[in-house]
Chains A and B, each alone.
Chain A
């Protein structure tokens, strides 16, 4: 049954490309959207009885190597959601090459679904490569100079990451004999961590950090995000980096290398460093999307810091922040896209007081930035609260204090953004601006709605997490 998540998008790609380019252009995005929504539906019901029942009846190939647990289901649902939003946002672009865009998004979804469902390191590497290749092409889909340069940097850096990960897999294969998560974990817990496994660990940490964009390894991320077309940068920031980088790290920490403290402390250090330096870097950026890129480095730092704890509550908090960050970061990218499509520029210094002309974008951006800064009562606060509680329970007091005080930096650079772009007197020359088109407004409203609902109904979310045994 899990293979459906791969086959349905594959079917989608084939259907879109059958009738040739003219019809395909119009039909592509809607078909991709359908696939995304089906995916959300399937992911959400994956834990339910219906799904288990069907699984016995229909036996598809690759049954053994693809499984779905709670973590996978949540990420699958988030992937579907963000992909859907990105597809809607693409309609907002002037000359959308929607046929190619639609099919490439489906390919990326296949890649991400694969990464999420596999249970052995080598196929994990294979699906990582799929997602990487598809996202290179997505970034440079309009073939302008900037996106090409950003894609090139992303391509080169992920090539380095691939080499490192492959080397690590090779060493692990040598020492353990097989690549399955369980096999490696059992072997390590039995045989203990020999020097060569440590070398493999270090390579793995470096490779995955490049993929996730943690601080010393992050350099490709700002260029790739800011130069990519709006819909693609939202997809990238929202879900691609998270699945390929953050999900893999969390999966490896919890399932494979749970006994080795090296990986945990390493990722906690990297997480804390990225929180602080990411926030500082975002402070004086003039380009709206570049600032959001650095901000997402900082927020990913929170997820990694919490996952690095290794405790069940740490994992649960990281998962909640994974979902929240996916929603409010994509929301901010949607706002950035709306502002860029209406005012024609991303330089914040040339914008001013847009809230009066673009009330919905202005309002949703306030929801987005407050949630990112971890200001209650929105969703960002609650996940950061759980992260700090997890840190505090595990005794990592210094990290907890860094995590709490860093949200002041986050708040600072978002206030600068608000003052420069939305909250203030309208800058002369921008009088003609109207509210962004439906393609930009609808996703921002949906995402803002999710952020506010998760925030306000947090007691229910808490009870749900408890029922799922996370807390």
Chain B
């Protein structure tokens, strides 16, 4: 199913994805980190389109790239940016911890590359649901998830209400 041209695109997009993720983690300034995170979501959306799952791509683009990034940016703008020395110190600390990250990545890469042929991954024909409309997917195939979604939102609401609403008395 994956012909050679797709392969090339995939490699580019996946490396782009990795690059922006590392960038989001390493960058000193919070704002730039949030934007990098948005970039990660955008690249992910493109990959999903390529892999033929438009619905997931649409949700990814709208929710992660859009909504979450907006919330992040509004929150960051409210906070007071740390002084230069704090930022430098935090960066040095983060650098020290993430030295090992590239080595780990390389190792996993090599391991996968070696083990790949013997893994004999038989990807089953997954019902990609390309033909199904949003309405059918939501209500018929995964109807229970709607209920789950409602309860999670409820829990999230109570969490916000309980944790963030400071009481007048204090």
Contact = CB atoms under 8 A, between A and B. Distances in A.
Interface of A: 6, 10, 13, 61-62, 65-66, 97, 100, 103-104, 107, 110-111, 114, 118, 122-123, 126-127, 129-130, 133-134, 136-137, 140-141, 143, 173-178, 194-196
15 contacts: A6-B147, A62-B144, A100-B158, A104-B155, A114-B147, A123-B144, A123-B145, A133-B159, A140-B162, A141-B162, A174-B121, A175-B122, A175-B124, A176-B124, A194-B120
Interface of B: 118-127, 143-145, 147-148, 150-152, 154-156, 158-159, 161-163
Nearest to A9: B151
Given A107-B154, A133-B156, A100 B147 contact: no
B144 A177 contact: no
A403 B116 CA distance: 42
B151 A114 contact: yes
A130 B148 contact: yes
DSSP class of B's interface residues: helix, strand, loop or mixed? Answer: helix
Nearest to A66: B144
Nearest to B123: A174
A136 B120 contact: no
A186 to B, nearest CB: 13
Given A107-B154, A123-B145, 18 more contacts: A10-B150, A65-B144, A104-B162, A111-B155, A114-B148, A114-B151, A123-B148, A127-B148, A129-B152, A130-B151, A133-B155, A137-B155, A141-B162, A143-B163, A173-B126, A178-B127, A194-B122, A196-B119
A195 B156 contact: no
A62 B163 contact: no
Nearest to B154: A107
Which 8 pairs show the lowest CB-CB distances between chains A and B?
Answer: A126-B148, A177-B124, A137-B159, A133-B155, A134-B155, A65-B144, A123-B144, A130-B151
Given A175-B122, A175-B124, A196-B119, A61 B143 contact: yes
B126 A130 contact: no
A188 to B, nearest CB: 13
Which of B154, B161, B163 has the most chain A CB atoms inside 10 A of its CB? Answer: B154
Contact of A174 (B124, B127, B151, B155): B124
A65 B123 CA distance: 25
Contacts of B156: 133
A448 B76 CA distance: 52
A176 B127 CA distance: 11
A139 to B, nearest CB: 11
B108 to A, nearest CB: 13
Given A174-B124, A175-B124, A104 B151 contact: no
A270 B154 CA distance: 35
Contacts of B123: 174
Contacts of A110: 151
